[in-house]
Structure 1
Amino acid sequence: MPPYDEWNKIDEEEEDELQDLSHLESKKDVILFCIDCSESMLELREDPNDPKVKTCHAYTALDAAMQIQKKKVIVGPNDLVGILLFNTTRKAESTSRTQGSEIKRNCYVYQPIGPLSAPKIQELIQLLDAFREDPHELESNFPPMTDGKRVPMGDVFTSCNWVIRDGAPKTATKRVFLITNEDDPHPGAGSKQLKNSSRTTLIDLTQAGVTVEPFFISTPDKPFDVSKFYSSVLLPDSLVDEDDVDPADPSVLPESISISRIEDLLMQMRFHESPKRALFSIPFELAKDFTIGVKGYSLVTEQKRGSYKYFFDLGERMEVVTTRTVYVDEGRQAEVDRTKMVYGTSGGTGAEGEDPGKRVVKPGQRPFYSAEDIKTFRTLGREPGLKLLGFKDLSELEFGDNVKHSNFIYPNEMSFSGSKRTFSALLKSMAKKKKIALALGVTRRNTTPMFYALLPQEERVDEAGWTDPAGFHLIPLPFADDIRSAAVERGARASESVKDAARAWIDKLSVKNGAYPPDSYPNPALAFHNAQLQAMAFGEEFNPEEFEDLSAPDLDMIHRRVGNLVEAWKRAVANDEAAISFETAKKEKEKPAKAGTKRKADTDMDMDVMETEIRSKFSEGKLNKLTMDQMKPFIKSKGMSVSGKKKADLVAMVEELLTS
């Protein structure tokens, strides 16, 4: 039985269920790359990295798919990936037993959805290497449709639906990465009917649990205009009701990406590589008998190394060892049913003459508790959910209140009808009145209730498109002992001239647009570890010197851009009066004591505390353990002189005072 201070640690396995990473890894991720192979996608262009080499949009899309698969072999080995090409005249082989024969005409399944494997990825690598040697390799393998003909997008979405239906597990997170550079695939007569057909088939695809994430390639000679076709086809944002959507309004597109530079395709895909899985789905009680549904998402999650596995050598193959946790009674050496285990305080060794394995329980006391009782102690009997307590002004939410990572909540129309409209109305009203909400909630089972602040965030759109979503930041409010004041003895404030000198070089080094892209700077230690595993998986040589640490600062660029400004700032700090006085006081404090002098003992303690300590030593017969500096103030407080007295005399005087 665990002792009293470990009551919250019911079981290690149950504790793991509370971690975000285990929840995120609970489902497989399925990605189907749907790549346009039209004439414009296969048109040869100069490679921006090497003008002597030719490339094309289709090659870059396939290369991005290959890079994503190579990375998933390490970070998500249980995920499934497939590649579907459309606008090509290549047909599936009649001997093929894959789902390639069940898709629409002019669509070709190059890589059926299946588990990640090195042979499949190496086959794709060989195709890309062959294109580097012969730029017409892709065009000969996947001939494009000619004379401006194109596959109806409705047929493309239907093919995606069939491919995912046949190859993806029902409980998986399913996504389609649509890559194309054609903003109007159906111009001319019949375009309206084709648009309606495309939207209908896309709705069928999303109702099957599939999310479409488009990657639109835009170039200076051929800019991509979403208003021509895709603004009428792609589904709106979750906070916008379909009845209120203007089909001609491109601002409602769900995270549509217009890629101005084709070499940024892989970077944009990495942003969307991890699926957006909800951490929790709970009811939100706004008032009595008035509840809506919300889903919560984590904004910050630390990526860690994958858990190691044990393998058993069967000679011809290696099998993963299945692990199982068993609880054993040490006394009987028998397996114990986990459901029958009880928890309580440690019993100690027992009284003299008693069996150390037993203890006496007084009548009316309850020494043991079940696992359900312990969960009740932790959750205070509350079920998962949020309860609105009230509202406060936005100014009352301080920066220091955010001591933990916040979550982001969206409405969940599937659990309560009308959640989207109510959530949107509450959000707009709070943002307009500059209010925050206070709520009491339990986000997941077996977690402690917390007080939360709900900070509204309206949708923000910039020139590049839709960026920040509309929703609430769920900020856990700290308890009193979560906030501690800093032990600052003395500080110095910079003058305005020093601040201006610092702003000059800080502004030069600030991130563009005020947004820091964390996916562009991976953890170097984790990236180095994954690069070695990837080389081992594909039988490649790994050269540590070729590894690039993207988080390392570019010192040469920093010196060129702000070298003079930093020097000017350092001179301003050196001449600042506050800094000079602070450094002088610091040097005086750190100055070593003079040789031959004794450090004066601290005798400024409270007299009551001193007398208590002296009486304690007297009762123990250890007055001689006290120093002269400890005894002198006590004797002086009693009106006796200590001039010229030795330690033995002081001890005798203390004994006389305490015995009289």
Structure 2
Amino acid sequence: MPPYDDWNKFDDEDDEELQDTLFFESKKDVILFCIDCSESMLALYDDPNYEDVQTCHLYAALEAAMQIQKKKIIVGPNDSVGILLFNITRKSEQAQSHASEIKKNTFVYQPITPLGAPKVQELIQLLDAAREDPNELTKTFPPLVGKRVPMGDVFTSCNWVLRDGAPKTASKRVFLITDEDDPHAGPGSKQLITSARTTLIDLTQAGVTVEPFFISTENKPFHVSKFYSSVLLPSNLNDEDELQEDSSVLPESISISRIEDLLAQMRFHEVPKRAQYSVPLQLGEGFTIGVKGYGLVTEQKKGAYKYFVDLGDRMEVATVKTTYIDEDQEAEVDKAKIFYGPALGAAAANDDEDNQDADDGFGTRAVKYGNRPFYTAEEIRSFRTLGLEPGIKLLGFKDRTELAFEDNIKHSQFIYPDEMSYSGSKRTFSALLKSMIKKEKIGLALALTRRNSSPIFCYLLPQEEKVDDSGWSEPAGFHIIPLPFADDIRSAPIEEGFRASEDLKDYARAWIDKLSVKNGTYPPDSYPNPALAYHNAQLQASAFREQYDPDSFEDLTAPKLEMIHKRAGNLLGEWKSAVNNDESANVTVATTGSKRKADVTVDEAEIRSKYDAGALAKLRVDQLKEFLKAKGQAVSGKKAELMERVAEWFDAH
């Protein structure tokens, strides 16, 4: 198996909590919209949202691309977006300035470049013109009549555009939008299918993910099985033999039955699935496979601001750089020569000798009495990692019933096999997963996910693949649940409370059933953070020089009071009356108060002022005893004796 030694993907000095944020900010995302411009995509139909207005599928696709670009300018300013159009017969004069032909009848309308307001405003102007004149898109992008561009040429064009314009380290994706389910009908279709599949493999091997958005309508339903099921293959854990037996490799749910669902689906796929780490999973001595780890829960925050320098004619971004300067030599110090030590108060007189004695390596180094110990960067890293290399080591198995609720103190991560690092990882991973699910076992492992993090013990909870009625699929893999250490869990006081009666429970259950979420699930994508959405809306209006109306903002998380009272108003009133009439609900539990300890701390300067003024008698006995105890004097005797000892101490000092 090939080795995997590219561990250090983060700055060693960053804390573990900061690494995830820095990683997501620095990782660039590139989206190439690959849009079909055939006659059916340009066919006009009545707009369902506006009266006496006609639109087409190409308009909806370009509008979705525009909305994604406007949003990414705010939440992902480092990302890039491009638009590739195919099945165009020629370039129009309007598109002559910024459209270029790649393959025959395939044009780049917007090359892959960093996002900017002028680039989006050009697309907005085109859409405004198409809204006034429904035939504007047909004039600008005349469709290819009587034939279609081979999909192999489309995938090749996408590969060329991403190769020339996208950064190598970015996550690259192609959003394929079309309404034609059989682009190569007729003679020679088998050869064209083979060509499309071959070029798609070349595209995916270059690190590009193709996410299809198939438009299906009542007049023209989209059948995935005609062409795309034999070209596009999902990446799952099934063996190759099982894939050949399965005829429907693509779910029908990727077809969009309504054109207005296109933007909703794109927003769901907008955030790329980025692996946070790639480490080996050691199943036994000399038996290792590769896995990738994904974070299932990530908080979306406001974008970080930047510093700008006014150069008169332009504004330039100011880069922040940290350097260490030697004051004596007035020169920059090499980072490799810097040592680390604990803050133990004033520096010892001979700290320089410690620097000379500090040699490299991990051996024991004696430190002279009264001197401060120093450590190298490698030693500090070894303290954090305990000398372990990044990876996950399987220690054993336990019954699934031994996984307790209180064991989950931090959100879990999800691991998936990585075939690129170790050949055969998918087969081995799938066999282990199926066996653990069948035997109802969980794995106990020791995990170090990054070089500058700390090792943790964790449970490996298997999850089999599931597909619900809406088409949402839960992938097969393992959840890594970090286990708590002894000091992570504190025992809470056990207090027995009053239990509600069965009648009171029935009253509550009645209105809860009326207000429950449909299908018993909460869709987080339908409820964006209102504070974040309000902030981004104002930034977007400022970037595009639009007038923003704060009253137009809709908080989707605000409770719908009218609907609540309409559905369960009477039931809520009955439950409230039942609670008021329940005896246990009106009982107040009396708690014994603890007497607060008196504050006996007195400043030495205050006691000295009392001594100088001859007013030590104004101090309390406990204050005199506290002072004498701090000075190492006896605290026995009456107040007069204590005052005498305090006076003697001040006389001597």
TM range (shorter): 0.7 to 0.9
Of 159, 164, 167, the match for 2:165: 167
SS at 2:588's partner residue?
helix
In 2, the alpha carbon distance for the partners of 1:601 and 1:17 equals 41
The answer for unaligned runs of 5 or more in structure 1 is 1-9, 591-598, 604-619, 628-648, 653-660
Match of 2:324 in 1: 327
Deviation of 1:356 after TM superposition, in Å, equals 10
2: CA distance between counterparts of 1:135 and 1:381?
67
The 5-angstrom pairing of residues 149-298 of structure 1 reads 149-246=147-244, 249-251=247-249, 257-298=254-295
User: Counterpart in 2 of 1:3?
Assistant: none
| Aligned twin of 1:407 | 413
What CA deviation, in whole Å up to 9, does each residue of 1:154-195 have, x standing for no partner?
A: 221112112212221222211000112222222333332222
8 A contact 2:253–2:470 mirrored in 1: no
Once residues 376 and 107 of structure 1 are traced to their aligned partners in structure 2, the CA distance between those partners, rounded to angstroms, is 55
1:248 Cα deviation (Å)? Answer: 5.7
Alpha-carbon shift at residue 251 of structure 1 (Å) = 4.2
Deviates more, 1:241-250 or 1:296-305: 241-250
- CA shift digits 1:105-128 (9 cap, x unpaired): 222221111111211110100111
When residues 134 and 95 of structure 1 are mapped into structure 2, their CA distance, relative to the original with a 3 A threshold, is closer
The offset of 1:412, in angstroms, is 0.6
Cα pair distance change 1:466/1:601, threshold 3 Å: closer
Residue of structure 1 equivalent to 2:650: none
Deviation at 1:228, TM superposition (A): 1.8
Aligned partner (choices 338, 343, 368) of residue 340 of structure 2 = 343
Q: Structure 1 236/349 Cα, relative in aligned 2: closer, same or farther at 3 Å?
A: closer
Measure, in 2, the Cα distance between the counterparts of 1:280 and 1:428. 24
Match of 2:313 among 295, 313, 316: 316
Distance 2:167 2:425 in 1: 29
AA partner of residue 517 (structure 1): P
State the partner residue of 1:116.
Answer: 115
1:469 paired residue among 451, 472, 475: 475
Contact 1:35–1:58 (CA<8 Å) still a contact in 2?
A: yes
**Equivalent residue runs for 1:424-443 within 5 Å:** 424-443=430-449
Structure 2 contact 92–139 (Cα < 8 Å) conserved: no
Q: Spell out the pairing of 1:6-85 with structure 2 (5 A cutoff).
A: 13-15=13-15, 19-85=19-85
By how many angstroms is 1:440 displaced? 0.4
Q: CA deviation at 1:483?
A: 2.0
Structure 2 counterpart of 1:24, one-letter code: F
Q: CA RMSD in A?
A: 3.4
Which residue of structure 2 lines up, in the alignment, with residue 646 of structure 1? none
Cα distance, 1:219–1:500 mapped onto 2, change above 3 Å: farther
Give the conservation status (yes or no) of the 8 Å contact 1:406–1:473. Answer: yes
Structure 1 residue 436: Cα displacement: 0.8
- Equivalent in the alignment of 1:128: 127
Question: Which residue identity does 2:128 align to in structure 1?
Answer: D
CA distance in 1, matches of 2:168, 2:315: 28
Report deviation, 1:210: 0.8
- 2:261 and 2:377 mapped to 1: Cα distance? 52
Q: Does the Cα contact within 8 Å between 2:280 and 2:392 map onto a contact in 1?
A: yes
Q: Contact 1:239–1:421 (CA<8 Å) still a contact in 2?
A: yes
Equivalent residue for 1:141?
140
**CA pair 184-513 structure 1, distance change in 2 beyond 3 A:** farther
Call closer, same or farther: CA 1:462–1:602 in 2, change over 3 Å: closer
| C-alpha separation in 1, matches of 2:300 and 2:209 | 23
> What residue number does 2:537 align with?
531
- State the secondary structure of the residue aligned to 2:163: helix
Cα deviation digits, residues 593-633 of structure 1 (max 9, x gap): xxxxxx99799xxxxxxxxxxxxxxxx99996369xxxxxx
Measured against aligned partners, the alpha-carbon deviations of 1:459-500 in whole angstroms (never above 9, x if no partner) come to: 112334351111111111111222234446442222333333
Quote how far apart the aligned CAs of 1:52 are: 3.3
Whether contact under 8 Å (1:375, 1:446) holds in the other structure is yes
Instruction: Tell me the CA shift for residue 550 of structure 1.
Output: 2.2
Matched letter for residue 621 of structure 2: K
8 Å Cα contact 1:91/1:106 also seen in 2: no
Higher deviation after alignment, 460-469 or 10-19: 10-19
Instruction: Name the counterpart of 2:426.
Output: 420
Relative distance call for 1:80 and 1:602 in structure 2 (3 A) is closer
Aligned-partner Cα distance in 2 for 1:566–1:522: 28
* Cα pair distance change 1:226/1:379, threshold 3 Å: same
Report the AA paired with residue 300 of structure 1: V
Q: Distance in 2 between matches of 1:486 and 1:333?
A: 56
Cα shift at 1:589: 6.0
**1:546-597 superposed Cα distances (whole Å, 9 cap, x missing partner):** 2222222222222222222322332333344442xxx3224x669xxxxxxx
User: Aligned AA for 1:528?
Assistant: Y
CA shift in 2, pair 1:192/1:567, >3 Å: farther
**Distance of aligned partners of 1:156 and 1:488 in 2 relative to their CA distance in 1, 3 Å threshold:** same
Q: Does the C-alpha gap of structure 1 residues 118 and 623 become closer, same or farther in structure 2, counting only changes over 3 Å?
A: closer
- Say whether the 8 Å CA contact 1:293–1:415 is kept in structure 2: yes
Distance 1:319 1:13, change over 3 A: farther
> 1:84-123: per-residue Cα shift (whole Å, max 9, x none)?
112222337799797823x222222211111112111101
- The equivalences for 1:86-105 within 5 A come to 86-91=86-91, 100-101=100-101, 103-105=102-104
Give, as a single letter, the amino acid of the residue that structure 2 aligns with 1:341. I
Cα deviation, residue 308, structure 1: 1.4
Q: Please report how far the alpha carbon of residue 76 of structure 1 lies from its aligned counterpart in structure 2 after TM superposition.
A: 1.3
C-alpha distance in structure 2 between counterparts of 1:176 and 1:186, whole Å: 21
Provide the C-alpha distance between the structure 1 equivalents of 2:371 and 2:92, rounded to a whole number of angstroms: 75
User: Aligned ranges for residues 453-532 of structure 1 at < 5 Å?
Assistant: 453-465=459-471, 467-487=473-493, 489-532=495-538
Deviations 1:348-386 (A, max 9, x none): 2379xx789999953799811111111111111011000
Q: For the Cα contact (< 8 Å) 1:179–1:215, is it kept in 2? A: yes
Structure 1, 117-126 or 19-28: larger mean CA deviation: 19-28
Note the C-alpha offset of 1:393.
1.2
Name 2:607's counterpart in structure 1: none
Q: Residue 267 of structure 1 contacts residue 520 of structure 1 at CA under 8 Å; is this kept in 2?
A: no
Alpha-carbon distance between aligned partners in 1 of 2:32 and 2:267, rounded to the nearest angstrom: 15
Q: Using the alignment, how far apart are the partners of 1:570 and 1:93 within structure 2?
A: 71
Shift of the 349–146 alpha-carbon distance from structure 1 to 2, 3 Å rule, reads: closer
Structure 2 residue ranges without an equivalent (≥5) = 1-9, 355-365, 598-615, 624-636, 641-653
1:344 aligns to what SS in structure 2? coil
* Aligned match of 1:631: none
CA shift, 1:249, in A, is 2.5
Q: Deviations over 1:394-453 (max 9, x none)?
A: 111122221111111000111111100000011111111111111001000111110111
Q: Which residue of 2 is the match for residue 585 of structure 1?
A: 588
